[in-house]
Each structure stands twice: as C-alpha cells, then as structure tokens.
Structure 1
C-alpha cells in the first residue's frame, strides 16, 4: 500500500484512539453544558458548550448525514447528558414545561433503546438470495442509521426548546416519533433475525436440492465487485447450476446486484460444511484472499484460480497460487512470470484459456499515424495494498493529459475504481477531470470522463472508443494488447532503463519515465505513440504470448471448454 491515505489531525481522528478522544470530548462538552446550566444566571452561559456538544455529535454522524452507515448505540452517554442538561436548565430557570419534560424523557428512552437494537440488528444479517426453497428475495439489515439520526434530532430539538422557551409539545412530538421509529426498527430486526435463523436451518437442504455443479467463492473489500463481474457472464455461459459464496455482507449485496444465480453469505470457517454439497465438482476463485483457504480444504473439489486480470504486477506471481489445483491463465507469459520471479510451480498446474473478456475488443483497422486527432484512453491503476505494488501513474496524470490535449487528442479518462479511496489519487482525478471539462468547454473536444467513462461504459467500450492507451503496470495493458493498438506505460516504481526487465510487457510499450518523482522523455514517447509506431509488428507477436494463441472466432470458447472439463 502507498501508506496511510490520510495525514495529520484527520488521520488521528480517524484512528481508534482519535475516535475515543472525540467521544470523550463530546461527553466533556455535554457535562460542561449540564453544569453551566445549573449555576449560570443566564441561559446564554450554557449555550456555547451545549452547541459544541451538539456540533460534535453531528460530526460523528457526518457519514450518515451523507447517506452512509453509522454505528447504532454510540455516544449514548453524551446524548443522555444533553437531555439531562436541557431538563436541569428549565428547572433552574423558571420550571420545565410538562410537555418538554415528557419529550426529554421519551427522547431518553429512544436513545437508550439503541443498545439492544444494535445487538438484535447484528443478528439480522442476510443468508441467501435467489436460492429455490428459501426465497428469491434477499433481505438486508434494518436501517439503524436513520434511528440514530432521528434520535439525535430529538435531542437537539429538546435542547432548542429548553434554551428558547419554545413550545415543549414540539419536543414531545419529535421524541415520540423517534421512539416509535426505534421500536419499529427493533420489531423489524427481530423479524429479520428470526428469518435468518430459519434460512440457516434450511440452507444445507436447499443447496443439496438445488444440485450445483460448482461454486464461485468471493471475498474482497467493499467496492471490488469488478472482480466477479468480469467472470460471471462466462460462468453463466457454462450452462450448469452454480452459486456465489461470499464471505462479507457488503460482498453479498454487490453480488446480488450482478447475478440471478443463488448468492450465499457465510462468514465463518465452521459455516463451510453447510454449503459443500455432493453435486459440487469445482470451486472457482478470482483473487488470493486468505479466506479462500476455508473452502480449499475440501479435497473433493477441484479448486481453480481465475484471478481478476493478467499483468506483470507482483501479485500476479504470488506464491499463494500454488495452493490451487489449477490456475487458469491468459497465456504463456503468465506461466513464465512465476519462474522468472523464483516461484516454482509444476507446469501441469496451469491451463492457458486466454482472457475471454477481450472477445469483443476490436482490432485496429489502420495505423495510428493515419488518424488526425486520435482519442487516447488514460486508464491508470491505483496505489495497491502494499508498497511493492504501487504502480499508479495518477500523480503524473495531469501533466500527461495536458501534453496529449496540446497535441489535439481527445481523452477517455477511466481510473481504477479504488483511486477514489485515496485522498491523494482522488485529488488527481479531480484535477484531470477539471482540465478535460475546461478544454471541452473552450475547444469542443469530445472528452469522456466521470460517470460516462467509469459506469456507463464498460472497459471494452473504452478500448473500442480509443485509438491508443496510456496506462502503467496494469492488467488493462495486457487486455488492450488484444486490440493491437499502440500503448504507453508510465514507469513509476522502476527507472525506465530497467523497466522492461521487471515488466516484460513494456517491451512493446512506449515508456514514460516517472521514476524519482518527475516525468522524463514524455515528448519522445508521445512522438512514437502517436506517430510512426515502430513497435507495431512486435506488438502483434507478443499478443499471442500474453493472451494465448487462440483463434479469434472461438476465443471465449477456449475458457468454456477448459472449465467444463472439471464439471
């Protein structure tokens, strides 16, 4: 990984100690509001600390305010203290409106109900979707975030009423609504927890009756659905029953959105016995996640690693690939990569199946020099999980795009989906998009970026919409090789002079040297990339080495035939 994405105060506040400090600060501020309200001669003395406490509460819920999840049952103490402060404030300064007192008490009950709600909600996780015999409709945990937000609103309304002598009935109405929502969500959680237990009790029998021939096992961080999205259409074309086994709840929701095949969520090692049925012959994997081991221990299955891309990156020759019975690879380059990096693997562990995902990639119809204003696809990778796999060219992307635009090129900008998770790379994405938007406004060039390039267009669409590619060490480059169009690679982790030694695909690439923190040789690389293209012939030869010597008209069929052998 490139290191922590955040730095300074924001990084500390995002850490566990920082979160505890924020929580403690909230409680101290709430106590200050309580004490000052009791001794002050004016409500104004209590206004500042109460406002601070309320503001910090809102800060802790900022994710929920943007529509994201928030942990139920957090910051209960400061909210109860704020309610006590509101009551004491009214008592000291002229008596509490009975309706306000009711509102404060009911709001307190709503806040205190969050702890049991959280326990019940954690037991209401989904088990399966689309599985005959259990039900086709998936269910999700109840929305506890809205409970926290409404309860927080009840606390703030009570404070406002106490400070301003407003009608206490307003606080009472809001509090009753908050408690009603809490109780409804508790009921909903109980219902879903009971349904979850029923689903688990029936799961093994339902899967056995379904008679799947194979399983696709997937566990990965949220937002990584592209790993299975690229393989699901081809697994479905095998025309055999299968299901997707996921190990995280976020993965469950993402998988359900991608397929009509059954999706099963099992998180623990001991849950595996319920999902391995007598009819199953094989298990497919798309990454080398640690939890893959939970299923690999079943020796009655053939375990086949598909991976989610082929490139010269360090993860592509990970020794972890040894634990699979078969590694389906795109071409001979993938096999040689292991040996070249000291990872000894018997040749019989590999099967060359090509990259079926490129079957619809159009092959170049004419030389790049004949295209007056070429369209360039800029598809940088992300920073990786570890320092040895940080190949991203995004920190240099702005200068590269600026140079391309100056040459009259239009741009398709499609960064790796994880780029937005890094503040540094996120800022670079924004800079590039701003540059393209301004050039499109001023010069009318048909740049494509944002949601259009990243969501509405597939990777293949982006390939076919471009004349050349600029990327870095990425599986995108190997896939683009199928088009026989020219491409440039940005050397970030290694000097350009030794780049091809570490990343052989660069032999047919025009290398832009960015090692050491600054770009070198950009103009020369772009001259060749957009002009004479001296590597054209060599690129066609290397295509077979990386993507398999497979006839184009039956390219995807090679994978289907090989996979069917194990079913």
Structure 2
C-alpha cells in the first residue's frame, strides 16, 4: 500500500519488468494482451513478429497468386493487427517498420497486377521512405530527455513533442491508403498525396527533434555550474519502477523540514515525471554512470536513499559524501535484512527490531552502521483511547501487501481477502480497504481486489455501512488517514503492520508463506498479532482471530511493549524531531 512501503525495492525496468500488468478497464482481452506483450521485456517482439509474418504471407500471395484477391485477406489481417496493437498500447515511431514495408511491397505488386500506375508506385516509394525514416526519428527523440526541473539557472524542461508518436500513426495511415488504392487499382494520386504528407510530417518532426537535442546538450553544459551556484547540502537518489513514487513521497516532507537545500537525482524519465509532480525542489535526471560527475557539487555533504536499487552504487562510489539509507518502511520481510545494506555508511532504522533482524538472520552488520530514528511518518497517527470491545460496530482496515517480485517475498493475503472481509462484514464491521498499489500488476490479485470492492459496495448499498474503498481509500486518504479512520487492522507481512503498532490498536496478521505455528518465529512482529493461517491456500483460525481482535484483545500489553522495540523509545511530542536531529548531523 502507498505510504509505508515494503521493506526494500529491487531494480526493475521502468514499466514493471517481469510483473504482469493488468489490462485497463474496458479493454478487450485480446487488445489487453497485445498491450502487455508490447511492454513486456520477454514479449516485446511477439506482436511485431506476428504482424510481419502475416504481411509476408500477403506479399508472397500477391507475387505468386497473380490476383489481388489472394493477398486481400492476410493484408487486411496484418493492417488490422497493426492498428489494434497501436490502439491497445501506443503508437511509437520506429516500431513495426518491417511489417509496414512488407505491406507497401504487397501494394506495389498488386499495382503491377493492374498495370502499374506511376502515381501509385511513387506513393508506395514515398511512404516507404517515410517509414524507413522513423528509426532515425526514434533515435533523435531517445536522446531528447529532460536534464532538470526547478533548478535555478536552468529554467523548466522543454515540453515533450507529442508529434514523435503521431508520426507512426500518420505513416501507418499512408501505408493503408496505398494498400487500398492498390487493391482497387485506382486513385494512385491519393496514395501519393498521403505519402508526401506523411513524409513531410516525418521530416519536420525530425528537425524539431534535432533542435530539442541541441537544447538538451546546452542545458547539460550548464548543469554543474547551476548546481554549484545552488549550493545543495545533500541529494536524494531515487530509482524505482513506475508507480512507486510513494517510496520517496513519504520522506520528502521531512527532508524539506531539514531547512537545507537539496535536490532529487533520478535515472529515468518516468521517475523524473513522478518526482516533478511531488515537489518544488530541484529534480535532476542523469541516466548514465558517466553523467554523474556533473551533479556532485562541491557543497554536497550527504546522499540519502529510500530503497536498495542496484544503481544506488553509482552514487555510493563518491566517497566524499556520507551515504545514508532511509528505506521506505520496516517489516520482517526478507528484503529487510538483505546484506546490501552494508554498502551504506549509515542505515537509519525505526527501532532496535530492525537492527536485531540482521543478526537473527545471519547478516553481520557493525552496530555503528545503524541509527534509530523512529518512523517520522507515524507522528500524526492517533493512539487508541479505549478498548476495542467498547466500540460498537468497529471499523477495520484491511491493508494487504502484494505478491512481491520473487516467490520468497510473496506474503500477500489477498487470495484469502474476500473470506476475511466477508467475515468482518458479517460481524457488523465497516471496512476500509486499501491494497498495495502493486496488487493491480497481478491479474489474479487485481480480480480479488475487485471482488472485495464489489462485496463492500453491495453491503453499503444494502445495509448502509460506511465502508471506505476505491479511490477514496487508495488515493484521497493517506496511510495515516486510514490508520486513524480504523479501530483495528488486518494485514500480512508488511511494513504497515509496524507503523500501525504506533496506534496501539489491535491487528491481525495473515500467515501465507509460513504455517501459523511457525509464523511468529519467522516474523517476530506477529507476537503482537492475532494470526489467521492461510498457508497452503486454506483459511484457518479466522473466527478465533476475529474474536480476539474485536473482543477481549489479550495482546494489548504486548503491543504496548513491542511498540518501543519496533518504533523507537522516542517521546511522542518530539517523535519526528529525532529524525531531523540525526539527519542534520551529517549536513
């Protein structure tokens, strides 16, 4: 879920890497598959190859069949698949070049069958030139990227030129026009006009790209001088998959409260766009390792990190800086005791539990590498004021994590979530449902989220219970808002559990990766939780756990004791100040 994230991030391609992206609402199954295949690293060539094969069949039939009717069906299929794929994803200049050239060759051969019209032949040739120019256009625009935003002396990044994407559509339309004219054996002049217009648009867009490229180079030459004049005390290095901006967003308010100049360094345009939407502090984008010298201003004293992305080591090599890992949450997950934390000069952790977790899992870390700063993000979380048994119709937050990138970090309880929420509703509870944002990356988990939302919507309509779900819970409300709007929580192995501990309200943890009998040994925070066993796909102990959660709450004293262990022994009135004081020591 956004806000307190799951222990540590791993590197993934910007669009989610190997994770499966759920099809957008309203999209057909086939077009959704095409979009997924286009954006998947493994399937990037599959749609293109399919269209190329069909287009080649059309070309061969046009050559061998001696009649336009032989080639009609495969040509229409190839053109249709091309248009459908672009509709499912997005038209990108330089894609499906081979397929379109094959279709143009098919158009030429069909023109020969009719007695070649010189205007049609010229149209085919000009359209082919436009299509073959697209790889150059794509290369130019790949080199056009923002250098910085909000940095004094460099101004705002230039607007991105949407024409580079429209070129593929225009050229694709010229190919279809040429095919249509070839099949009819008429209107060759129309094909020529369409092709000339497409080529002209392509060339104008190439020139625009070249000007933007020169502007980017000019900004880069001024970057180091601009950062030197800005005099930042520290930088924040962030690289993460798209849609993970919560990792950084949770820390920005506290970094800004330090009252020192800083900038955010990102490594790709997706992250750049996400950060620019979050803050007014300078944002700098440097993609390559050899580009980083430009951002190491003489005034820099420290670098902060909010995940363990592999490219963090590109900045860690600057030994004149103090490198401090903040992470984006604290939990008992496997990534939270990854040996990679050794590469940082300091690891700011929430409490002693985070330190002990390394030793308990055989990862040797010198004590001086840790500093306990609490979780400043919970400073506004309300602490329970009454036993839950005294609350009529309590509201329960269900905040499941997602399936993780790898099998050893799949702790999601969503596959049992419908039964859990149904049982809560049957007990008269209202529910706040806030799944991890990555849940939508898995079609299976996305379906379970939809089932739960539908259940809550139906109960709200029928019984009037004030359930909170959808955009209200996942976008409008912050994590702290969800905590404060609830009297108890159901989650799994996630950093939200440790953060919720601050409220001293009761919570359930769902055991998925480990049987309930060994759950507390593997995940010590479960000592303060009522446990539902969902290991092996069967839900057991649900009623008993909910009885304790909503009734006598025998673990209230345990939660109070573990709160300091996990979240630091820090006075509530100065809770966030602990982080500010410790961070300021290195600036």
Which among 531, 536, 540 is matched to residue 516 of structure 1?
536
Once the two structures are superposed, the pairs formed by residues 222-371 of structure 1 within 5 Å of their partners are 222-371=242-391
Separation of aligned partners in 2, 1:522 and 1:168: 73
1:309-360 Cα deviation digits (max 9, x unpaired):
0111111111111111111111111111112112222222211111111111
Give the C-alpha shift of residue 279 in structure 1. Answer: 0.7
Q: Which residue of 1 aligns with 2:72?
A: 47
Separation of aligned partners in 2, 1:5 and 1:226: 18
Give the C-alpha shift of residue 128 in structure 1. Answer: 1.1
Q: Verify: 1:202 aligned to 2:222, yes or no.
A: yes
Q: Which residue of 1 aligns with 2:13?
A: none
Q: Verify: 1:23 aligned to 2:57, yes or no.
A: no
Which among 83, 105, 129 is matched to residue 58 of structure 1?
83
Give the C-alpha shift of residue 492 in structure 1. Answer: 0.6
1:60-91 Cα deviation digits (max 9, x unpaired):
434434xxxx5431221221221232243244
Give the C-alpha shift of residue 521 in structure 1. Answer: 0.5
CA contact (8 A) 1:364 1:484 kept: yes
Over the aligned positions, Cα root-mean-square deviation in angstroms equals 2.6
Which among 144, 160, 166 is matched to residue 180 of structure 2?
160
CA contact (8 A) 1:512 1:520 kept: yes
Q: Which residue of 1 aligns with 2:106?
A: 85
Closer/same/farther in 2, CA of residues 403 and 17 from structure 1, 3 Å limit: closer
CA contact (8 A) 2:111 2:121 kept: no
CA contact (8 A) 2:397 2:483 kept: yes
Separation of aligned partners in 2, 1:154 and 1:434: 46
Q: Which residue of 1 aligns with 2:4?
A: none
Give the C-alpha shift of residue 176 in structure 1. Answer: 4.4
CA contact (8 A) 2:263 2:284 kept: yes
Residue ranges of structure 2 left out of the alignment (5+ in a row):
1-9, 11-16, 22-29
Separation of aligned partners in 1, 2:234 and 2:161: 28
Q: Which residue of 2 aligns with 1:480?
A: 500
CA contact (8 A) 2:123 2:188 kept: yes
Q: Which residue of 2 aligns with 1:216?
A: 236
Q: Verify: 1:447 aligned to 2:447, yes or no.
A: no
Separation of aligned partners in 2, 1:115 and 1:352: 52
Separation of aligned partners in 2, 1:307 and 1:325: 14
Q: Verify: 1:33 aligned to 2:58, yes or no.
A: yes
Q: Verify: 1:74 aligned to 2:99, yes or no.
A: no
The SS at the match of 2:508 is strand
Separation of aligned partners in 1, 2:19 and 2:329: 25
Give the C-alpha shift of residue 43 in structure 1. Answer: 3.8
1:222-257 Cα deviation digits (max 9, x unpaired):
221111100011101111100111122211111111
Residue ranges of structure 1 left out of the alignment (5+ in a row):
none
Give the C-alpha shift of residue 94 in structure 1. Answer: 6.0
Return the structure number with greater relative CO, CA threshold 8 A, min gap 6: 2
Q: Verify: 1:499 aligned to 2:492, yes or no.
A: no
CA contact (8 A) 1:142 1:188 kept: no
Which among 545, 569, 582 is matched to residue 525 of structure 1?
545
Separation of aligned partners in 2, 1:265 and 1:31: 42
Separation of aligned partners in 1, 2:220 and 2:126: 37
The SS at the match of 1:61 is helix
Closer/same/farther in 2, CA of residues 493 and 177 from structure 1, 3 Å limit: same
TM-score normalized by the length of structure 1: 0.92
Deviates more, 1:23-32 or 1:243-252: 23-32
Q: Which residue of 2 aligns with 1:467?
A: 487
CA contact (8 A) 2:68 2:113 kept: no
